[in-house]
Amino acid sequence: MNQSTAFRRKLIYLVILIATLVPLYVLGQPSDGTEDSGGQLAQMRRDFEISESDLGEISPASETMKLASLGLRGVAATLLWEKAHEYRVMHEWDRLKASLNNIALLQPHYDKVWEHQAHNLAYNVSIEFDDYRQRYEMVREGTEFLTRGVRQNRKAPRLIWYTGWFYGQKIGMSDEKRQFRKLFADDDILHASLADEGIAVDSNEALGPYQKPDNWLVGRLWLNYGYGIVDGGIKIRRQTPLNFYETGPKWSFKYAEAIEKEGVLDQRAISAWTRASENWERFGSRSIPTTSPFTIKLGRVDELRQQRAEKVEAFRALGTDIYDEMKQERMKNLPPDLQKVLDKAPEDRTEAGKQAVADLENYQPNMQEVVKRLPAAKQLAAVELMEEMKDLDARISKTEGYRKQINYVYWNSLALAEQEDRTVNARKLIYDAEKANADAEIDLAIKLYEEAFEIWAEIFDDYPILTIDDSAEDLFQSIRRYMIAIDSQELPPDFPLTTFAQMMNNEVGIQDAKLYERVRNEQAELARKRKEELAEEERRREAEGDSAEGGEPDDETKQSDSNAAGAAEPMEEAKEDAPGDGETKAKDESASNESADPEMTEKPANEDKSATDKPESDKPESDKPESDKPESGDQPQTEENSATEEKGGDEKTSGDEPPKSDESAGTAGNAG
Amino acid sequence: MNLQPDDFWTFSEWLLRPGSFLESAMLQGVVLIILAIVLGLTVAYVISAARYGPGEGFYAVARAVRDFLFSDLPGTSPRRIFALARLAFKEAIRRKVLFVIGLFVVILLLAGWFLNPESDNPARLYISFVLTATNYLVLALALFISAFSLPQDIESRTIYTIVTKPVRATEIVLGRMLGFVGVGTAMLVPMGLASFVFVDRGLDHTHYEVVEATEENGVITGTTDYVRNHRHTFTIQEGETQGLTDIRRGHRHVVTRKDDGSFVIGDPSGHLRARVPDYGEIQFYDRSGEPKEAGIDVGQERLAGGYGSAGISRLIGVAKGTRKLEHGYVEGGTLGMAEFTFDNVTKDRFPGPIDVDLSIRAYRSYKGDIESGIRGSLTIKNPDTNAESNPIAFVVDEYEIDERRLPLEIEGTDANGETRTLSLFDDLVNEDGELQLLLRCLDRGQYLGVTKSGVYLRPAESTFAWNLTKAYISIWLQMTMIIGFGVMFSTFLSGPVAMVATAVCVLLGFSAESIYDTRYYIDSNIERGGGPIESLVRLVKQDAQTTQLDVEGVANTVIKSADALIVYTLDAVATALPNLPRMVGTAEYAAGGVDIFAAILARLAVATFGYVLLAFLISYFFLKSREIAA
């Protein structure tokens, strides 16, 4: 090696050094504080609002930690993570928390870490304690850990959502929910720190029935805070918007359910349900981004249908003759039964008939062929209309799919049913009856039970959807206790809830959708037959010389009752089954029963139109919160959703039931 | 604190291991020294033979041994050692090692940011932090000062000014070692004091006011304000002005009521403890009352466990099975129980009621009543006469040390089956001073978990300051050991290389347990990632630890055998090295509020002495050979 090669080598080193400095400069140049200054990293830091100076809290501890790890932050965090796991296995909770703290100091902007470890503390560690107060402490620690994460990551709505989830789900649905909720309500120190975070725990929005903060409502406030942030333009990451938005309104349902379970069965419960209903409606009118390029509003599917119908009308108006001609051609090929239904005015059709007609949309003439036959001048307008219809179709099916995913209709009618005085009264009676039963005042209990069952029968008639509600199971337990109280293996012959009880008895596992469906079908069939018989009887009585008006008032009371409740679907049914409608109708019904699924008559009309849009495809796997983490007792949200997905089809109503295991376990525990 | 089986050994048990001599420390030491002598002589002979020829080489070695035994060792003068030690000391000080104390103070200052005084047991975090920080810092320091000194002297030829004086190689080696140990000691003392102040101040807090106080029949009960994540309740008895708060997070305060009705809350006390435990032998019984080797495993996750320290027996493959102590559970509402037998229960050791501490875990197999905890009971039993006290019921207080007292007089059934008031020492302790405690779970279908260290009698209490001192003594011993190694390597390696060699020894010492564990998995065919090569393959292939190695045929065999070879070699080396984690482990005792057992300190001291002796011998011969060369 002579001098020149040595020199050349030095030159090469120099060039490499300079070459590597260039990207370093571009990436790492610090910002001077003005907009668009600084290198790539500085820009990203600004975009995600994670540069420490933005947060107003430069943490010297965090910086020292980062410096001390000499750029090996990732390695240090991994080692700490390993240690944290070890401490968890060894039940060294204090040290576990200390290591988590250090991980958070090292990598404060890795939001999944906050989420995972907060879950670890609140769910996995808390259950290791035998004393429920210690468990609560640990749940609180976990939640506060998460809150710290929220403070340090301003652009992570999912962390905020998760905090809201913890306050609601963990405190409100654990085995020890009764105790947790009480501890939470009395936890002044936590309330103070929540107030510091900007959560208005002393506002009416957060106060429960006893003027103390309620965990569900506080959880909802957190979620609302998250919604505010997203409305302010920050993207939702690692979560579907639907899942993100539905939780807040649901928490107001959970709140109402929780206070009712705890015996608050008066005006406060009613107003809780009213509020839940309002929130659900507001949710329905919120624009929700979808996997398609457009957003949808869950509560506006009828408007979309209306718009579509208008478009069809407009299309028809373009070429009336051709359209009708082609329609007639198609109609001729229809079976005579269907033709009969079509001949009738829409308001005269039976429920089954309507169902059948709905299917007839398929027998509408093919638009494209219509367009071809149209005069050239009208073709452009027609094609445009067709495009618009196509777009509307896409929106409708997407909306339907999303509604199905979260069981929109179920929650809607639940809120409507529950805010009635009658329902609250029925619940109160059951609650009192249970209490009397527990106090061994058997006679009083039986009396209260019977009163309650009467009302419940009425409620179920008006809101059949409630029979698959979670509280239906509780009611069934009450029926069982009633049977024990009256000391009988069989229900009395005139028992108002006989069908319900039989149905509940039949379902060995309510998860078995097929079996459940069959039972319900049979029930619907039986009910209809029975009602027909009743109608027959009524008519006979009328014929036996009573005045013609005799039957009517009865009918009207029933209608007005339903109107008051504002439930569209069951009202339809009530109308259909109203006696005194004449013979033709009865025939119609039997005729249409052949072609249409008889079960449909009992179902809410607009619930399952779209079979094309499968909700599964809209739900990315990654959105499932923490399904890999072991949990005891608490079912995570996703299980609800995936249950919906699996069931699909007609069985949507039972799909979105609130987690059951917890509830039933709670009941069993209380009973024991 | 969950102790492992060897933590309970007395000094003689550790040294001799009656019953399984292969595991004994003595054997390990003897083997090590013999091995060193044999190896040393062989190597020395080979080198000399190469230098002077086979015949002359033998004489050279023999001369060196003779010199050592008959002139250098007897002629070693403490005065000269002291002079050389002073030299080493001064030299180290001149190299500004005291700077480390400053560094330590800075670390302590910053530590406040990372240690959470609001945690459930802050004392534990604080103490274990200061002790580990001191430990690592002092070890690093020992490494640096010991490895560089001699090579530098040789390089700068200052060594000649010494060797030309009438000093012996033994004196040079011992002088260095002592000098550096002196430096280390001079630094450990202020560090220890600083630690004590740091812990004491860090845990100090004041409750400023009483937020709520009610007086009923002259008895005042009240609640203090909320500071550091806790508040206390207190009671002041009728006619008194002072009362105690309850124990929260390991401490309590004195509350004084002043004449004007206001309250003054004193400083915290009781969070710095040094309990002197007296452990018993544990025996589990299953649900039908049959004795069992271990309690029920409720299926909680366990840390991987290998042989533990089984000495030579592990090395030669005689040791079997895992030796980690885990919580064993007893089933409630059955005949299942854990029986603890304590000996030496005498009136002299326990003048008053007997203090007994419980650390018990609860496990629910069903939810049960949420609001009330799982209940257990303690029964005192005479092992000979079977006289039994009535069970003392308690509710489990998990993850705390539940301090209870056994009364001197208690209702029970005597040896004849009659029910009467029993005297603890007369009826329930047998003639050999033995007493049994039976731990049962009262709730049917629920479980209580305990280990041998979960229930102990507490005959006395030591002071925290003394316990901290003992922890520092343990650190001092480690430092001495490292200095010995450093000086040894520096006699024949250049400075940086000597340091690296010492560091490797330290690292191997620290990872001894995981090497043993890896060997355990290889021995017992448990898939746990395998040895170094297999781990690397798995890393690259992104395979999980517990799957079968996804490599076929010859490659598999090659990987496995190479790994076995590496791990077995490492195992042998690690066995020859001091088990440093055990030494660092004394910090756990101090942090857990348990007095560091004298036996453990004695063991560490003997081991240190052994290793230093070995290092001294090796150093002497190497230095001697270099002198010959020079």
Q: With an 8 Å Cβ cutoff, are A64 and B113 in contact? A: yes
Instruction: Give B480 to chain A, closest Cα distance, Å.
Output: 28
Identify the weakest region by mean pLDDT among A4-8, A126-130, A485-489.
A485-489
Q: With an 8 Å Cβ cutoff, are A94 and B374 in contact? A: no
Nearest residue of A to residue B110, measured between CA atoms: A61
Instruction: Give A668 to chain B, closest Cα distance, Å.
Output: 10
Q: What's the half-sphere exposure (Cβ side, CA atoms, 13 Å) at A311?
A: 20
Nearest residue of A to residue B362, measured between CA atoms: A130
Which of the residues A102, A131, A148, A670 would you substitute to probe the B interface, choosing the one with the greatest number of B C-beta atoms within 10 Å? A131
What percentage of chain B reaches a pLDDT higher than 90? Answer: 56
Instruction: Indicate the pLDDT class of residue B95, thresholds 50, 70 and 90.
Output: confident
Instruction: Indicate the pLDDT class of residue A27, thresholds 50, 70 and 90.
Output: confident
SS3 string, B328-388, reads EEEECCCCCEEEEEECCCCCCCCCCCEEEEECCEEEECCCCCCCCCCEEEEEEECCCCCCE
Q: With an 8 Å Cβ cutoff, are B398 and A134 in contact? A: yes
B239 CB-near residues (< 8 Å, 6+ apart): B218
* Paired tokens of A469: 């509600």
Give residue-wise pLDDT tens across range A547-595.
544 444 444 444 434 343 333 333 334 333 433 333 333 334 433 333 3
Instruction: Give A420 to chain B, closest Cα distance, Å.
Output: 34
Which of the residues A130, A137, A139, A140 would you substitute to probe the B interface, choosing the one with the greatest number of B C-beta atoms within 10 Å? A130
The more confident residue out of A372 and A246 is A246
Dihedral angle over CA of A456, A418, A355, A497, nearest 10: -10
Q: With an 8 Å Cβ cutoff, are A175 and B399 in contact? A: no
Residue A264, amino acid: V
3-state secondary structure of B41: helix
Rounded to 10°, the helix A215-231/A177-185 angle is 70
pLDDT at A566: 38
Residues 110-139 of B with CB under 8 A from A: 110, 113-116, 119-121, 124-125
Continuous segment of H or E residues that includes residue A560: helix A552-565
Which of the residues B370, B443, B447 would you substitute to probe the A interface, choosing the one with the greatest number of A C-beta atoms within 10 Å? B370
Produce one character per residue of A576-586: b if its CB has 16 or more CB atoms within 10 Å, e if not. bbbbbbeeebe
Give residue-wise pLDDT tens across range A43-59.
887 777 776 655 555 67
Q: With an 8 Å Cβ cutoff, are A101 and B301 in contact? A: no
Q: With an 8 Å Cβ cutoff, are B113 and A61 in contact? A: yes
B612-to-A627, B173, B356, B485 alpha-carbon distances in Å? 55, 11, 40, 7
Residues 153-192 of B with CB under 8 A from A: none
- Nearest beta carbon to residue B302 from set A89, A101, A102: A89
Distance (Å, whole) CA B249 – CA A94: 11
- Interface confidence, given as ipTM, is 0.91
Distance, first Cα to last Cα, chain B: 55
Distance (Å, whole) CA A404 – CA A607: 8
Is B285 exposed, middle or buried (CB count within 10 Å of its CB: 0-12, 13-18, 19+)? Answer: buried
A487-to-A48, A447, A450, A482, A484 alpha-carbon distances in Å? 67, 14, 14, 8, 5
* Paired tokens of A523: 């029930």
- Residue of B201, B174, B104 whose CA lies nearest to B475: B104
Q: With an 8 Å Cβ cutoff, are A91 and B399 in contact? A: yes
Q: With an 8 Å Cβ cutoff, are A130 and B119 in contact? A: no
Give A97's contacts in chain B (Cβ within 8 Å).
116, 119
Q: Which value, in Å, is the radius of gyration of the alpha carbons in chain B?
A: 30
Distance (Å, whole) CA A132 – CA A129: 7
Nearest residue of B to residue A135, measured between CA atoms: B370
- Nearest beta carbon to residue A179 from set B121, B371, B398: B371
Q: With an 8 Å Cβ cutoff, are B116 and A64 in contact? A: no
Interface residues on A facing B, Cβ-Cβ cutoff 8 A: 60-61, 64-65, 86, 89-91, 93-95, 97-98, 101-102, 105, 129-132, 134, 175-176, 179, 189, 665, 669
Instruction: Indicate the pLDDT class of residue A324, thresholds 50, 70 and 90.
Output: confident
Q: With an 8 Å Cβ cutoff, are B303 and A131 in contact? A: no
CB proximity B366 to A under 8 Å: no
SS3 string, B72-98, reads HHHHCCHHHHHHHHHHHHHHHHHCCCC
Ramachandran sector of residue B456 (left: φ over 0; alpha: ψ -120 to 50; beta: rest): beta
| Residue matched to tokens 């040294």 | B15
SS3 string, A359-370, reads HHHHHCCCHHHH
Distance (Å, whole) CA A352 – CA A360: 13
- Nearest beta carbon to residue A130 from set B120, B303, B396: B396
Max avg pLDDT among A32-36, A67-71, B171-175: B171-175
Give A91's contacts in chain B (Cβ within 8 Å).
361, 399
Give A105's contacts in chain B (Cβ within 8 Å).
114
Bridge-based pairing state of the strands A287-289 and A295-297: antiparallel
Instruction: Give B337 to chain A, closest Cα distance, Å.
Output: 20
- Residue of B428, B494, B457 whose CA lies nearest to B148: B494
Q: With an 8 Å Cβ cutoff, are B370 and A97 in contact? A: no
* Paired tokens of A82: 């390993």
Q: What is the reported pTM?
A: 0.80
Rounded to 10°, the helix A442-462/A498-506 angle is 90
Average of per-residue pLDDT across A379-405: 92
Instruction: Indicate the pLDDT class of residue B478, thresholds 50, 70 and 90.
Output: very high
Q: With an 8 Å Cβ cutoff, are A97 and B119 in contact? A: yes
Ramachandran sector of residue A507 (left: φ over 0; alpha: ψ -120 to 50; beta: rest): beta
- Nearest beta carbon to residue A61 from set B114, B301, B373: B114
Instruction: Give A277 to chain B, closest Cα distance, Å.
Output: 34
Give residue-wise pLDDT tens across range B331-370.
999 999 999 999 999 999 998 899 999 999 999 999 899 9
pLDDT at A510: 39
pLDDT at B551 over 70: yes
Q: Give the number of beta-carbon pairs within 8 Å between A and B.
A: 57
Q: With an 8 Å Cβ cutoff, are A130 and B116 in contact? A: no
Instruction: Indicate the pLDDT class of residue A649, thresholds 50, 70 and 90.
Output: very low
Q: Could you give the angle at the alpha carbon of A146 between the alpha carbons of A144 and A147, nearest 5°?
A: 60
Q: With an 8 Å Cβ cutoff, are A90 and B2 in contact? A: yes
Q: How many CB atoms lie within 10 A of CB B375?
A: 17
* Paired tokens of B20: 């399984």
Is B111 exposed, middle or buried (CB count within 10 Å of its CB: 0-12, 13-18, 19+)? Answer: middle
Rounded to 10°, the helix B54-66/B25-52 angle is 130
Q: With an 8 Å Cβ cutoff, are B226 and A90 in contact? A: no
What percentage of chain A reaches a pLDDT higher than 70? Answer: 72
Give residue-wise pLDDT tens across range B56-76.
889 988 988 898 899 888 888
Average of per-residue pLDDT across A484-498: 84
Produce one character per residue of A192-230: b if its CB has 16 or more CB atoms within 10 Å, e if not. eebeeeebebeeebbbbbeebbbbbbbbbbbbbbbbebb
Distance (Å, whole) CA A353 – CA A345: 11
Is A543 exposed, middle or buried (CB count within 10 Å of its CB: 0-12, 13-18, 19+)? Answer: exposed
Instruction: Indicate the pLDDT class of residue A627, thresholds 50, 70 and 90.
Output: very low
Q: With an 8 Å Cβ cutoff, are B114 and A189 in contact? A: no
